[in-house]
Copies of this chain bind each other. A is one copy, B any other.
């Protein structure tokens, strides 16, 4: 007989696990995943990066490294932060993480005790919600509008409740695809400073912009150290590298590195050196431009297919980048019922993405990992299912 698990793990199933399961089904068209397209991995260049670097280095290539990660790679992220993100930082401000997910988890672990207040966007990324949920916090939802979090609701929440942490995805938000406006970014920093709250800026899709203009990071307006920015190579290079980064106040990064030592000690130097060599021998931004053309096409195919086939009463987001399209159905349609009934196409139903209100009438559709032909086919099929569901409810009513 085993001892009881922590009460923080009340649920026996995991939405994130379900998501990966949905993503892996071959017999269906999967709009559920958040995977980059296999075709886009610069395999030749990454393979070469390993070979080049491994011939240059000593056996200590295979030894323990630093908890914050391989310094030359952290320096490259400093350059990127200074030049592209307009974040004034040094190597002490950077920690390499196992994907951005580890960054979220480290911050949750370090700041949250059971019952602590935290603000999340409604809807939000299921992986972050579950990382926070493992700390059994008090969740407060703030709706995401087309220009980002509703700042009035946010300030009201901060006035009424003790909140330690605000989690936001400012660019091509997962799952809505919305971007936070410039004004709201500044406002968010001001609110965070006024109420002494940490802002976790999760920004994995930033560079995947197909049109429109890039906005400065929230962190770039932060003068007091209230914002931590998370980035990742998963979407712009390869998720198998399991490498992201965290940019924050140097004292905070130091404290988090001590937490990280107890979690998995440090990142792999092998993979870090591969990335470092790739960045030295290739133009990542050129690669990203190619990706954006490719993804933009897929997004357009999906938007067209949805606009042509969605019954009236439904709406569709049209993001300028990222991986996802957000579909809102009539209020009386439960997207999870659709998902269960519709064997041929999978997607993410919205219930679990609204951590408090559990709004059910939305769907997150991924276009990055699906071919245009399958996107068209899947969207048609999905729209038929939606139409039938609406008719059925009309008859019942």
Which chain A residues have a beta carbon within 8 Å of chain B's beta carbons?
1-9, 12-14, 16-17, 20, 23, 35-36, 38-39, 41, 43, 46-47, 50-51, 54-55, 58-65, 67, 97-99, 101-102, 105, 109-114, 116, 127, 130-131, 133-134, 164-165, 193, 196-198, 224-226, 238-242, 249, 252, 255, 257-259, 261-271, 274
**Complex alpha-carbon distance, A62 and B241, angstroms:** 7
Cβ B54 vs Cβ A265 within 8 A: no
Interface centre among A63, A102, A165, A257 (most CB of B within 10 A): A63
**Complex alpha-carbon distance, A268 and B164, angstroms:** 32
Instruction: State which of B7, B47, B265 has its C-beta within 8 Å of the C-beta of A101.
Output: B265
A235 to chain B, nearest CB (A): 11
Cβ A252 vs Cβ B9 within 8 A: no
**Complex alpha-carbon distance, A105 and B259, angstroms:** 10
CB-CB under 8 A from A134, the residues of chain B are 109, 259, 262
Cβ B267 vs Cβ A242 within 8 A: yes
Cβ A102 vs Cβ B263 within 8 A: yes
**Complex alpha-carbon distance, A60 and B33, angstroms:** 15
CB-CB under 8 A from A3, the residues of chain B are 111, 164-165, 196-198
Cβ B14 vs Cβ A38 within 8 A: no
How many chain copies does the complex carry?
2
Interface centre among A3, A36, A98, A127 (most CB of B within 10 A): A3
In the complex, the chain B residue whose C-beta lies closest to that of A243 is: B268
CB-CB under 8 A from A196, the residues of chain B are 1-3
**Complex alpha-carbon distance, A97 and B65, angstroms:** 17
A108 to chain B, nearest CB (A): 8
Known A-B contacts A134-B262, A257-B17; the reply to A54 vs B50 at CB < 8 A is: yes
Cβ B59 vs Cβ A262 within 8 A: no
Interface centre among A60, A102, A261 (most CB of B within 10 A): A261
